[in-house]
């Protein structure tokens, strides 16, 4: 029996708007105004309570701006630093995932090589600088740094405060210097659509095909529904959509990456079979707007995400 709880669409939209405004108020994303000193990435004294600082830096300590192509060394390796700082009164754990053209890739985090996710614990009101290194494939266009909060936390109950807190993810995205533009993207047609005038929710994973009803847990092999819409008013949007099961990239049906183009006032629905698993794990979907392009003023966020869904095994 499906362990889910429906929420009326209007209430979801209202809650989502409130949550977005809350996070825009309480989190500061620092990209272009940070000092270049390797000893101090952020001015912690200038940060508001509950603020988060997030920035990229070259290996020599110079800022790595979002719209700036990232250069490789003679070994075709990208070497850079990810700086995280937060004015929180609790310890926080962040998970770092690197992708090449939206494919999860092996990388070095600090002095350790990881094939999937690097977890970094940050004490209260602390700044950390994490050296990252990744060998770039010859045909890679874009390097994506995905940051998730508390990756080990599992919330099976419909606790909205926890669900919306853990769903928040952040991304730094860089075009590889000298790479060739992608011209072979094929968009995947939806299984169904419905009219949604004025709705700017980019992505929702739901237990319902015609309404964006949140679902906190489902069983392995069950069917869910991925709802995709425009994120900016009356403009169509392109997305690269990926999924992670226990923070390892998993296919969405038969696709490692779903390239989706959405039109205004219409929600595109994709039927999704949940992965077969042996133990419960988080499943989360991520939609990256305008993929394979440099920083765009048309997009407020570098990544949109669904609420985490716990996939349970029937044998548990």
Predicted confidence (pLDDT) per residue in 34-47, tens digit: 333 344 555 444 55
119 forms beta bridges with 95
Choice among 140-154, 225-239, 297-311 with the minimum mean pLDDT? 297-311
User: Is the pLDDT reported for residue 63 higher than 80?
Assistant: yes
Q: Which residue has the tokens 């940060």?
A: 47
Q: Which residue has the tokens 């992965």?
A: 275
Q: Which residue has the tokens 């000298």?
A: 178
Express each pLDDT in 64-87 by its tens digit: 988 889 999 999 999 999 998 877
Express each pLDDT in 214-258 by its tens digit: 888 888 888 999 999 998 888 899 999 999 999 999 999 999 999
d(CA 36, CA 63): 6
The pLDDT-based confidence of 315 (bands split at 50, 70, 90) is low
Most confident of 1-15, 54-68, 71-85, 295-309: 71-85
98 forms beta bridges with 145
d(CA 239, CA 203): 10
- In this structure, are residues 191 and 269 in contact, taking their beta carbons and an 8 Å threshold? yes
245 forms beta bridges with 248, 283
- In this structure, are residues 160 and 216 in contact, taking their beta carbons and an 8 Å threshold? no
What integer pLDDT is reported at residue 21 of this predicted model?
A: 35
The pLDDT-based confidence of 190 (bands split at 50, 70, 90) is very high
User: Is the pLDDT reported for residue 99 higher than 80?
Assistant: yes
% of the chain surpassing 90 pLDDT: 54
pTM for this entry: 0.85
- What is the chain's mean pLDDT, rounded? 82
């Amino acid at each position: 029996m499906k362990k889910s709880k429906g929420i009326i669409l209007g209430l979801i939209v209202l809650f989502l708007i409130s949550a977005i405004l809350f996070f825009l108020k309480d989190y500061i994303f620092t990209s272009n105004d940070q000092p270049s000193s390797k000893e101090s990435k952020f001015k912690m004294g200038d940060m508001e309570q509950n603020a988060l600082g997030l920035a990229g830096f070259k290996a020599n300590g110079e800022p790595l701006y979002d719209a700036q192509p990232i250069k490789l060394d003679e070994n075709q390796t990208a070497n850079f630093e990810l700086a995280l700082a937060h004015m929180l009164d609790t310890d926080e754990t962040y998970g770092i995932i690197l992708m090449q053209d939206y494919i999860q890739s092996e990388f070095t985090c600090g002095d350790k090589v990881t094939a999937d996710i690097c977890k970094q614990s940050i004490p209260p009101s602390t700044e950390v600088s994490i050296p990252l290194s990744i060998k770039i494939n010859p045909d890679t266009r874009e390097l994506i740094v995905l940051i998730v909060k508390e990756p080990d936390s599992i919330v099976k109950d419909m606790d909205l405060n926890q669900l919306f807190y853990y769903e928040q993810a952040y991304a730094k995205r860089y075009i590889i210097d000298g790479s060739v533009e992608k011209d072979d993207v094929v968009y995947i047609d939806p299984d169904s659509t419905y009219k949604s005038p004025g709705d700017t929710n980019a992505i929702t994973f739901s237990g319902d095909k015609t309404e964006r009803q949140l679902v906190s847990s489902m069983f392995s092999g069950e069917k869910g529904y991925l709802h995709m819409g425009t994120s900016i008013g009356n403009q169509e949007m392109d997305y690269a959509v990926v999924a992670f099961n226990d923070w390892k990239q998993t296919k969405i049906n038969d696709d490692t990456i779903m390239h989706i183009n959405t039109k205004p006032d219409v929600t595109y629905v994709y039927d999704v079979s949940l992965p077969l698993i042996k133990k419960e794990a988080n499943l989360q979907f991520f939609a990256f707007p305008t993929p394979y392009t440099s920083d765009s003023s048309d997009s407020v966020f570098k990544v949109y995400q669904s609420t985490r869904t716990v996939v349970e095994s029937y044998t548990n």
